Homo-oligomer: A and B are copies of this chain.
């Protein structure tokens, strides 16, 4: 299980570290959370009063602070004695509960039954022995709301004389200059998208600043695409590509994710689609930057991902031994979609090879082999792709449409047929919706793409999100891949591509 480490890439990744930008964010209001059947998850945050100092807190009291927008950073505060009262003669115990959205605040930690480690619950307790006290919480949180509760039993009140978030990001949203768009909803969606990307651009491109906080390559690819039309933070893209090339699994495959902190670390498992997306990352980077030197340096790693996948391709069975991610979708048969991803990235590898004057013969023959494999799952009768297990999913059709096995007209027909069939296995994440948008765009179905964008992300805006979430199903506001909707990430990188699509769909 020893990872394969390339020290030269690792050093270059370190050399590309940049200090984060810090921004002081002040509380906006003292609020409360009320039940409201008309609101997302039946919870609404209502302002009680504007925030002002001093903010007095008695023992047993709970105060909900609304910072007015999503932030990623550290909570700082000053606590003082209240003039005219007995002073703090025993420690004040403060319990903090951070939330990106109200459900996260109101769900009691003892009710947690999720499949992820409960350590991700954004709760913390702190003792303040003497006042005045000035300090901070050590852990970084992703939040808009903070519920502060006094858990000691001392009879004196204390007061906050300062309370703020020191927010961090690698980028400044004010630096992004984009053309105006007359459509108000599209403007809002674009704002949410850019805000999301900004919140996730930290020391690496994180998947979500609340949870995982890791560099996942599926997310990185979408973040980088969106970054190219917004922040253009090229150093961070290069740093992350270097990290994936530096720390690979024993077999040489690019890992699905990297724990970026000292020292970076990869687990032993892989996702076949995620390893292949290394090719996409390099392909997109070269297309945006024309930086041939960097592409040349990383090309062998990209090529190797295709070669390692080729070794697992059986033209009758598909890619064997290949765990893949594709989407959060229970019981999904991922085999056909994975062949689609393979072809999609082989095509990118071919383009990359041509730009770099590399031989393309092997790639050409591999494309042919993979096409044959994929086409063996096409059912002429139904007009869609069916897995060996007999499953018809949106995922298979979207990736088949992106694979290049069909002409534009055939792809259009495939997507239309799929819509008529309305498969049981639907797309669950904004990440998968992104590839659906790409399929529509490649088919020239611009209107349809705009419609999907406005319907899906428009509903997110309507639900009151400050950023784009990890999971969103308008039919089930409590859907969670972890059986814990309070732990869903409400600011998630793979949901940030609307700014990319708005540039594509409206910018031309």
Chain A: residues with CB nearer than 8 A to chain B? 1, 81, 84, 86-93, 116-120, 124-127, 129-130, 132, 135, 138-140, 152-154, 212-213, 259, 261-262, 265, 267
Contacts and interface: CB of A to CB of B under 8 A. Distances in A.
Contacts of A132: 261-262
Contacts of A138: 126, 135, 138
A79 to B, nearest CB: 12
Given A90-B119, A92-B119, 4 more contacts: A89-B212, A90-B118, A91-B120, A117-B152
B152 A118 contact: yes
A207 to B, nearest CB: 12
A124 B127 contact: yes
A1 B85 CA distance: 10
A117 B140 contact: no
B213 A129 contact: yes
- The secondary structure that dominates the A interface is loop
A189 to B, nearest CB: 31
Nearest to A112: B153
A111 to B, nearest CB: 14
Copies of the protein in its oligomer? 2
A261 B93 contact: no
A171 B267 CA distance: 49
A153 B118 contact: yes
Given A130-B261, A139-B129, A117 B87 contact: no
A212 B212 CA distance: 41
Contacts of A135: 138
B139 A117 contact: no
A237 to B, nearest CB: 22
Nearest to A257: B89
Contact of A140 (B81, B129, B261): B129
Contact of A119 (B86, B91, B116, B140): B91
Given A262-B132, A267-B86, A267-B87, A139 B119 contact: no
Nearest to A132: B262
17 contacts: A81-B265, A87-B265, A88-B259, A90-B116, A91-B119, A91-B139, A92-B119, A93-B118, A93-B119, A119-B153, A124-B125, A124-B127, A126-B138, A129-B139, A129-B140, A132-B261, A135-B138
A220 B124 CA distance: 37
Contacts of A262: 132
Contacts of A117: 89-91, 152-154
Contact of A130 (B84, B91, B129, B259): B259
